[in-house]
Structure 1
């Protein structure tokens, strides 16, 4: 993704047009020739990794937490956190769906209803990235779980009797 800020030898109008095209879903991870733009319902990004690395990391602008500096908790190994990969996968699929199903307001809906709550949960004080920082990954710890007694499970409407 090109920087939205014009450099000394760039065209600010072209830079802004490119950024707006990316936000509208016209961006490809590796820009192809003009004739190979994906069909309307084909994904722009081939997988969640391409979506995070080629899109999300470039459009989300937040100060990152580091040491005593407050900011967004982020982990460079986001894919090593089960909750993060699940949420980021959901974000990618929602982005791909909304860009096609609602080209007029889908991206606004995606930011408001999808990205903002998921990013807040990932970066929260007790979220999956809370013990990481931009230069350090801390292995996730699953929640402690004890097996439920069979008599408790038997009370549930979908109990199979085993």
Structure 2
């Protein structure tokens, strides 16, 4: 009994096989190049979208406060009215805002508040700026205006004032603490030299520092 004999496979042409392989490689390279282009286009589109969102957020507040066609005032800024500011702070912070604040001086962490905020120049300046912002926002008819005011102005001002390194860091509801101002060196033209960090650490700012520091280019001989 004889079995079926499988037909012989045609001989493989090495040249044709190599040509087919090269064609496949070229096709894959073309596809990869197209994918890279699409990826680059997608990345550029994403960057453009993120830039547009950032720009829109920056213009958000400005557009609300200064609608199109409304002329911005170029007059001199109004002088500080402490009576008006005190009454505004009392109404819009003292009788409205609720925060858990440290009750004793010298504690670590937590929020700080000074009932004698008017003794802190930074607090006075920031709260007056906040009052002016509030005055502008309450006049707007946009229903989101006050949300933007609280998010971008009120919350950030309170955070700057009440954090443990802010102007109220030495205060508590129990008493006012005299915090130190940020140290500033003498004017450049009044310095003989600039002390090194080690020399500054060895003497208080404004005191005598031993040793020779860097030559002061501002010094007038």
TM-score after normalising by structure 1: 0.59
Q: Give the aligned partner of residue 63 of structure 1.
A: 100
Q: Indicate whether 1:99 and 2:176 are aligned.
A: no
Q: Indicate whether 1:138 and 2:213 are aligned.
A: no
Contact 1:87 1:118 in 2 (8 A): yes
Aligned partner (choices 76, 90, 100) of residue 53 of structure 1 = 90
Contact 2:108 2:164 in 1 (8 A): no
Contact 2:110 2:163 in 1 (8 A): no
Q: Give the aligned partner of residue 122 of structure 1.
A: 161
Matched position secondary structure for 1:89: helix
**How many residues get paired?**
109
CA drift at 1:120: 0.7
Contact 2:160 2:166 in 1 (8 A): yes
CA gap of 1:50–1:146, structure 2 versus 1, over 3 A, is same
Q: Which has the higher contact order (CA 8 A, sep 6+)?
A: 1
CA gap of 1:152–1:126, structure 2 versus 1, over 3 A, is farther
Aligned partner (choices 72, 75, 83) of residue 114 of structure 2 = 75
TM-score after normalising by structure 2: 0.44
Matched position secondary structure for 1:59: coil
Structure 2 residues not aligned, in runs of 5+: 1-82, 190-215
Q: For 2:169 and 2:118, how far apart are their aligned partners in 1?
A: 15
Contact 1:64 1:70 in 2 (8 A): no
Q: For 1:104 and 1:84, how far apart are their aligned partners in 2?
A: 29
Structure 1 residues not aligned, in runs of 5+: 1-45, 154-162
Contact 1:62 1:71 in 2 (8 A): no
Q: For 1:130 and 1:146, how far apart are their aligned partners in 2?
A: 23
Q: For 2:124 and 2:161, how far apart are their aligned partners in 1?
A: 10
Q: For 1:87 and 1:128, how far apart are their aligned partners in 2?
A: 11
Which structure has more helix as a fraction of its residues?
2
Q: Give the aligned partner of residue 65 of structure 2.
A: none
